[in-house]
Amino acid sequence: MSVVLQSSSGWVLDSQSLIDRGYTRCITWRGHQKSHVKCNFKRQCFHILKSHYNISGRVDGGHSVMTQKTEKSAKKRKRKHCELNQGEIDAKAFHEKDCRLAALCDIAKELPLLADEEQEWTQSLLTEEGGASHVDLFSKVTENIQAWAAVVPLMGEEYIIPPNTAFLLSDFTRIQPLVQCGRRFDVIVIDPPWENKSVKRSRRYSSLPSSQMKRLPVPLLGSPGCLVATWVTNRPSHLRFVRDELYPHWGVEVVAEWFWVKVTTSGEFVFPLDSPHKKPYEVLVLGRYRPANDHTSPLQTANVPVEDKRLIVSVPSALHSQKPSLSEVLKLYVGAEAKCLELFARSLQPRWTSWGNEVLKFQHVSYFNLGPADTSKAEATEDAADNRAET
């Protein structure tokens, strides 16, 4: 059950279950042979057992293993120069491969753009026979319209794509396919790569100056009454920027601030509330898009009140910057059939469209456990789904 508890204060979420529900039916191909596989996100990513922790990633035999280290006030020691062991070599190779998406987006900038009238802005991920097609991930919105997840080869690697999902792998310079495909969204979740010292030191990803955030074409992507939710770091200047500059620039009215509270598997805060450095929570600023000159009919749910100061409590992922899915909690304010978009996404969700230069990052097959499925049960589920589709 992905929502463990719901009350007037907020929700307790099982992030692992929120991810896994998109992979109850998963298909892979070997040649032209289709087979069912059992697929789930690696549970060790959510084994946060102790508070006051620092996360470090290690790859052992091609599998990502997450370890925890208690914080210590001891002085940093210089590591003696020595040759890398096999585990460190694997980790380095995995990190370099994992960072390839952003680099490929940079290369794609050099490709010529077609004129708008010559361009088709969407494409199917799978062929009619079911296998992965040859797709242009950088200049078209790629769709998996099937009701099942698929393990597909892309750019020399294998990725697992959820059902009924769409994505565009690009940066700001190539975001126009998302705008040109003609979709207006009822929910837009934004997870910006905020500038901070930690990101600069780690070089995990490229950060973005706050001033550049205004370039996001939210008014062209949101339907009237669209719910906009932006993850904000605990730096006060970032919060003020979103509330006082960014949302007014887009025509978004601030309606609430929520808090994602990070806890261990035993329910303790991952950091003390009074920690001067890292806090056990992050802020989510919610607003409604209220276009001044747009007279189209707003969503029926556009006036549903969004309660302020609600809490989302969950065990965080050991993977850097992996946020919990908001699909379950936001549908209360936009309806179950809302069209949803995530900007600066690093993973995909069923029935969502996602954009970013690392949009496939956590879809890499190395983050999942794959095994043989109960074929009879899988086929029965597939037949039932097909029958519902026909009726």
Q: How far apart, in whole angstroms, are the C-alpha atoms of residue 199 and residue 171?
A: 18
User: What are the tokens at 80?
Assistant: 């003696």
Contacts of residues 378-385 at CB distance under 8 Å and 24 or more positions apart, as own/partner, are 378/25, 378/36, 379/36, 381/24, 381/25, 382/25, 382/148, 385/25, 385/147, 385/148
Residue 59 included in any domain? no
Number of domains in the chain: 1
Q: Is residue 340 part of a domain?
A: yes
Q: What is the DSSP letter of 317?
A: P
Tell me the CATH number at 270. Answer: 3.40.50.150
Residue 269 bridge partners (DSSP): 263
What pLDDT is stored for residue 108 in this prediction?
64
At 240 the pLDDT is 96
202, part of any domain: yes
Position 191 in a domain:
yes
Residue 210 in domain: yes
pLDDT per residue, tens digit, the chain (391 aa), is: 689 999 999 999 999 999 999 999 999 987 677 889 999 999 989 988 888 644 444 333 333 334 343 344 444 444 444 444 443 344 444 444 545 677 776 666 566 665 555 578 999 998 766 666 678 899 999 999 999 999 999 988 999 999 999 999 999 888 999 999 989 999 999 999 997 655 444 455 567 888 889 999 999 999 999 999 999 998 999 999 999 999 999 999 999 999 999 999 999 999 998 888 789 999 999 999 998 876 666 667 777 899 999 999 999 998 888 999 999 999 999 988 999 999 999 999 999 999 999 999 999 999 999 998 875 555 555 555 554 444 4
Cα-Cα-Cα-Cα dihedral sign, residues 381, 143, 342, 368? positive
User: φ and ψ at 35, to 5 degrees?
Assistant: -145, 150
Instruction: Give the structural domain span for 210.
Output: 100-369
Alpha helical stretches, state H, the chain: 15-20, 86-98, 100-108, 176-180, 197-202, 218-221, 236-241, 247-250, 327-334, 375-390
Give the number of other CB atoms < 10 A from CB of residue 109: 12
Could you tell me if residue 44 is inside a domain?
Answer: no
Residue 307, judged by CB atoms within 10 A of its CB (0-12, 13-18, 19+), counts as middle
pLDDT at 381: 52
List 89's β-bridge partners, or say none.
Answer: none
Q: Residue 202, SS3?
A: helix
Q: 29 is written with which tokens?
A: 């191909």
Let me know if residue 70 belongs to a domain. no
Query: What is the model's pLDDT at position 106?
Result: 66
Residue 84: strand, helix, or coil: coil
Predicted pLDDT at 50: 82
Can you give the pLDDT at residue 76?
Answer: 46
Asked whether residue 265 is domain-assigned, the answer is yes
